[in-house]
Structure 1
Amino acid sequence: MAIDVQPAVSPHLIVDDAAAAIDFYVKAFGAQEYGRVGGPDGKLVHAALNINGFMVMLNDDFPEMSEGKSMTPTALGGTPVTIHLTVTDVDAKFQRAVDAGATVVHPLEDAFWGDRYGVVRDPFGHHWSMGQPIREVSMEEIEEAMQQSQ
């Protein structure tokens, strides 16, 4: 029997307290849990969620699997990655994340590229941007706005 594989790109997050992270993502983003695999020490070695219609994987931090280094955003002093969610009703969804415990990094605003856009940091250090298209913007308008901001 052949396994049907659909090409995809899925973020895989490393966190301290993966079980708490799952609870947060359910509250903040309406995540649905596909499942989790616990290790003998109680840490989660793998979990998978559906967030905004797509799979996000996560696990607890295992420094022994990363050359002895912790790989959480907290341990690394931040994250260079932002996970973007294109949503409807961005104001309500942004507020839901904040109410669940996310910290506002960039408040919601009507951005020059045509989205209502903002960024939050989850309690585990990962950044999540949210955007909702609100108007069509040409490349010329975007370029002009970029020139005016310099």
Structure 2
Amino acid sequence: MAVPAEANTPMLVPHLVVGDAAAALDFYAKAFGAVEMARLPGPEGKIMHAAFQINGAMVFLNDDFPEFCDGRSSTPVALGGSSVTIHLHGPDVEGRFQRALDAGATVVNPLEDQFWGDRYGVLRDPFGHQWSLAETVREVDMNEVVAQMAESGQMS
């Protein structure tokens, strides 16, 4: 049987590893309006693979399987944090931020108007992943952004 062309559509998909994928799927639905696309069960009630969409973008998810990672856990909790922040941009950042807090996220950086023109804040989900949320509230010229960064000492 021939493989349909859409099976190989180019994409870049974040793949999250968590300690409780079923709970994470519930959290992402409540916090970010995630729509579950697939869930493949694995051994001992774990989830081998799940796919969901947020803002039309695909995200993969699975339970932690140290036995497939040189015997080491690869969750942000086990690693002491994550070097990746997942960014959600769009309207009603206040409502989206509060919705995530109500679902169980914690504030890393509160929502504030930023010099680059966004209202921006950062949350940590109950599974250790970091999410930034933003809404553009004013247009800013790139020269103004660079000047603000230089003024604040963020550029040398």
SS of residue in 1 equivalent to 2:111:
strand
- Say which of 129, 132, 137 aligns to 1:129: 132
The question of 1:13 aligning with 2:16 is answered yes
- Give distance in 1, aligned partners of 2:60 and 2:121: 23
- Give distance in 2, aligned partners of 1:141 and 1:126: 32
- Give distance in 2, aligned partners of 1:2 and 1:71: 33
Partner deviation per Cα, 1:31-53 (whole Å, 9 max, x = no partner):
11001001131100000011111
Q: Tell me the equivalent position of 2:64.
A: 61
Structure 1 length as normaliser, TM-score?
Answer: 0.97
Structure 2 length as normaliser, TM-score?
Answer: 0.94
Q: Tell me the equivalent position of 2:146.
A: 143
- 4+ long deviations beyond 2 Å: none
Q: Tell me the equivalent position of 2:54.
A: 51
Query: Percent identical across equivalent pairs?
Result: 61
Partner deviation per Cα, 1:99-126 (whole Å, 9 max, x = no partner):
1000000100111111110000000000
The question of 1:105 aligning with 2:108 is answered yes
SS of residue in 2 equivalent to 1:35:
strand
Q: Tell me the equivalent position of 1:92.
A: 95
SS of residue in 1 equivalent to 2:45:
coil
SS of residue in 2 equivalent to 1:41:
helix
